[in-house]
Structure formats: C-alpha cells, structure tokens
Amino acid sequence: MSPSEHRLTVPVRDPDRLLELKVGDVVYLNGTLITARDKAHQRMFDEGREPPVDLDRAAIFHAGPVVRKRDGDYELVVVGPTTSTRMAKYLEDVLEAGVRVIVGKGGMGPEAPKLMKGRAVYLTAPGGCAALLSERVERIRDVCWRDLGVPEAMWILEVREFGPLIVTVDAHGNELSWKETG
C-alpha cells in the first residue's frame, strides 16, 4: 500500500487538517518555516525571552542552514534537519507557544505522542538531504537572533512543496518507529 500524500499550508490555518495526517503519511509543506535549534529554545524557554516571531500555529524546523552573504542579504546555500531529541525537553513549552508542526529528524522523545495528541504533528525530514530540501526553499524572508551564530539563529524561510516529510508523530497519539515496524 502506498502511503497517502498531503499538502499542508503553514502556519496551519485549520487545525482540523492536522487530524488528517496519520503516521507513515508523506507531507509537503507550503508557507513559512521557522528554524530553531538548541540556543533559540534555551533563550525562549529557559531565559524566558519573548519569541522574536509569532509562533501561533507555526511550523518550526530543527535546522541550521549554510548561508552566504551577498550584497548585505543572506542567500541560502543549503538547509536540512538536525537531531530533534536535543529539543525534546522543550516540547511542552513549544506547544504552549502555539507551534503545530515540528520538522526534524530522529524523533521528539518518548513523551511526544502523549504531549502532541490533539495539538501538533512531528514530521521527519530525510536526514542530511540538504541539497534536495533547499530546492524547495524559495527564499530567506528574515533572520532573528543573528547573534546566536549562523546555525543557531532563527531563520524565517518561505517554502514550496517542502518535502518529502514523513509523519512520525501524529495528532492521534501514534508514533512511527523502527521498533514497531522492524
């Protein structure tokens, strides 16, 4: 059986759409994707700083891009997922902040299916496939907290048909992992 394919606009306008996604399904994202790694999470949730972008219904991407500066503007070279488990301890905070879609690799930790149920989905991007995924990034719209360094800053990306992403934790409390399938 082929997995079903979905196209999802982010930020998520209609939260009910999330319920259509089931573990194992393939998703392509259209809209805005915000990168956030260790330091951005630390600053928002340990230091309690206001997020520099609106996270309501947002999609965040555990990733640090390679960029090039050209005529004062940042140009994306490539971007791909980093290991999400490092950010797992902030999951409750992230969901509280309104995030509905998390993109990364390696899973969101053992609590994820319970915490994300009815609220959000976790999508696995093919790890290391930065050249492929970058073809689907139209441009860098903005960058926040540049002082955290290139990988750790929050990059606001405009994406089109961004994928293939695999639903790994759905909003029904299920998780896809090799332990069950293998």
Q: Which of 110, 118, 127, 149 binds ligand SF4 (CB under 6 A)?
A: 127
Q: Which residue shows structure tokens 């503007």?
A: 73
From the candidates 6, 41, 62, 172, give the one annotated as an active-site residue: 41
Residues making contact with other proteins (CB under 8 A): 2-3, 24, 26, 39, 63-68, 77-80, 82-83, 85, 105-107, 124, 126-135, 149-151, 164, 166, 168, 176-178, 180-182
Per-residue CA distances from 16 to 57, 100, 139 (Å): 12, 11, 28
| Closest residue to ligand SF4: CB criterion | 128
Binding to ligand SF4 by residue 128, rule CB under 6 A? yes
Per DSSP, the residues of 85-147 read GGGGGGHHHHHHTT--EEEEBS---TTHHHHHTTT-EEEE--TT-HHHHHTTEEEEEEEE-GG
Pick 9 or 177: Cβ nearer ligand SF4: 177
Residue 6 bears catalytic tag = no
Enter the DSSP assignment of 2.
P
CB-based burial label for 85 (10 Å; 0-12, 13-18, 19+): middle
Binding to ligand SF4 by residue 118, rule CB under 6 A? no
Q: Helix (H, G, I), strand (E, B), or coil: what is residue 180?
A: helix
**How far apart, in Å, do the first and last CA atoms of the chain sit?**
17
Per-residue binding letters, 41-80, with ligand SF4 (x by CB under 6 A): ---------------------------------------x
Pick 30 or 85: Cβ nearer ligand SF4: 85
| Shortest Å distance, C-beta 80 to ligand SF4 | 6
Q: Which residues are catalytic?
A: 41
Residue ranges binding ligand SF4 (CB under 6 A): 80, 127-128
